[in-house]
Structure 1
Amino acid sequence: MSLNESNPSIRILSVDDHPLLREGVAVVIERQADMLLVGEATNGAEAIDLYRQLRPDVVLMDLQMPGMSGLDAIRAIRAEFPKARIIVLTTYVGDVQALDALKAGAAGYLAKSSLRKELLDTIRTVHAGRSHLTPAVASAIAMHAIDDALSSREVNVLRLVAAGKSNKEIAGQLVISDDTVKAHLKNIFAKLAVGDRTLAVTVAVRRGIIEI
């Protein structure tokens, strides 16, 4: 689509690997007199290329996509275009994932299940140079702000637990001892305030620490 500098509309790039989601976003945007969908991408790499070509006012970015993730795309776009305004539109609203997106440069964070009005209000808010977080996400971030974060090794252990691996299998895969695996699990349980492996995985997925 060609640029139209005389058009006052908020020019939007939609990035998601699910066609139905992109179609839904397109339907909502085309009904707004002050918005224009200028492009669609299916992964992070495409998003970067289209951003360079189209220079949209606002990007709607999914996080989990094949190839380059949305988080990596946000970092890359913001590194090249520091004033880029990006809203994360995702299935997962965990505090860890939300905080990672904000640190990467996202100005907004919404669940895909958000009401149409909330999406439109967020687009207008971010376009105006402000940030927007839903109360639920903001509350979750605040709630866990002083928690001890899991180390990268603990996250790796937890991913293998989520994959159904035994302590012995985890030890073999990470080239550590069984006792070290047990020590990592003890730390994970304490940091997540849970008492077993199943709950650890459940909480970690909900908070966006790991994906399954």
Structure 2
Amino acid sequence: MVTGKISILLVDDHAIVREGYRALLKKQPDLEVIAEAIDGNQAYQQYKLHTPDVTIMDLSLPGQSGVETIARIKQRNPRAKILVFTMHQNPRFAAQAINAGALGYVTKSSPPEVLLNAIHDVYSGRRTLSPDIAQALALEKTGHETAALESLTSREFEILRLLAEGKSKEEIAQTLSISAKTVSNCYYLVKSKIGVNSDIGLVHWAIKMRLIDIYRLK
């Protein structure tokens, strides 16, 4: 029996998307959106301020990404319960989000009841995946490249993704609020872990692993 409402922090950079899902959640008698955020840094600050029962977070955010924000929140509070709600259907993104500390991963193509059930699962401490992601993860090959990707930390994964998109080390440092030296150190670690020895090789590897889209590269 529910004795109180599950408090929720909703993180998405699209106002219309937040409005739509806020309306859905408002209809549920045991759910309450107590705070919202439009980017990773704001999500972290709102989490510190409100300590919600469940944080629902997109992965594609301006500046600091969802994966990095998940890791940051979990570092502050290891008991934080985070549900990723995103358009990304790539199982590798799901694996990274879970490795960073997310308990659930639901795609935005899922029916509303999948999201609502996932909120309750995550609140109860149960890991949950939308059916499409669960199937994709089950079919994922366990080869050397996948193992290399899974060996990356959340920060290394984000630096890899941003480097592959053509961002400079200085831009990445500013985006992730870390020093350029830290970016450089991670850069060499990433290349070593994935087994490439050039920037071109890094980009080709990221494309092959479907971490970025070719049309986004300039």
TM-score where L is the length of structure 1: 0.71
Q: Is the 8 A contact 2:91 2:137 kept in 1?
A: yes
Q: Which residue is equivalent to 1:210?
A: 212
Find the residue that maps to 1:149 and give its secondary structure: helix
| Residue 21 of structure 1: how far off its partner (Å) | 0.8
| Residue 68 of structure 1: how far off its partner (Å) | 1.2
Find the residue that maps to 2:45 and give its secondary structure: helix
**1:23 matches 2:19:** yes
Unpaired runs of 5+ residues, structure 1, are 1-6, 162-179, 189-199
Deviations 1:1-36 (A, max 9, x none): xxxxxx710000000100011001100011010000
Deviations 1:132-155 (A, max 9, x none): 012321222232251222768xx7
Please point out which of 69, 76, 79 is paired with 1:73. Answer: 69
Once residues 91 and 81 of structure 2 are traced to their aligned partners in structure 1, the CA distance between those partners, rounded to angstroms, is 20
Please point out which of 41, 46, 54 is paired with 2:42. Answer: 46
Please point out which of 95, 108, 117 is paired with 1:121. Answer: 117
Please point out which of 60, 85, 88 is paired with 1:89. Answer: 85
Q: Is the 8 A contact 2:110 2:130 kept in 1?
A: no
| Residue 93 of structure 1: how far off its partner (Å) | 1.4
**1:58 matches 2:54:** yes
Identity of aligned residues (%): 35
**1:110 matches 2:106:** yes
Once residues 105 and 160 of structure 1 are traced to their aligned partners in structure 2, the CA distance between those partners, rounded to angstroms, is 25
- After TM superposition, the structure 1 stretch with the greater mean CA deviation from structure 2, 100-109 or 114-123, is 114-123
Once residues 130 and 86 of structure 2 are traced to their aligned partners in structure 1, the CA distance between those partners, rounded to angstroms, is 13
Find the residue that maps to 1:75 and give its secondary structure: helix
| Residue 184 of structure 1: how far off its partner (Å) | 4.5
Q: Which residue is equivalent to 2:95?
A: 99
Letter in 1 for 2:42: E
Once residues 77 and 42 of structure 2 are traced to their aligned partners in structure 1, the CA distance between those partners, rounded to angstroms, is 16
Structure 1 residues 131 and 160: alpha-carbon distance in aligned structure 2, compared to 1, 3 A threshold: closer
Once residues 107 and 119 of structure 1 are traced to their aligned partners in structure 2, the CA distance between those partners, rounded to angstroms, is 13
Count, aligned residues? 171
Q: Which residue is equivalent to 1:11?
A: 7
Letter in 1 for 2:35: G
Find the residue that maps to 1:28 and give its secondary structure: helix
Q: Which residue is equivalent to 2:169?
A: none
Structure 1 residues 146 and 128: alpha-carbon distance in aligned structure 2, compared to 1, 3 A threshold: same
Structure 1 residues 159 and 34: alpha-carbon distance in aligned structure 2, compared to 1, 3 A threshold: same
Q: Is the 8 A contact 2:59 2:85 kept in 1?
A: yes
TM-score where L is the length of structure 2: 0.69
Find the residue that maps to 2:105 and give its secondary structure: strand
Higher alpha-carbon Rg: 1
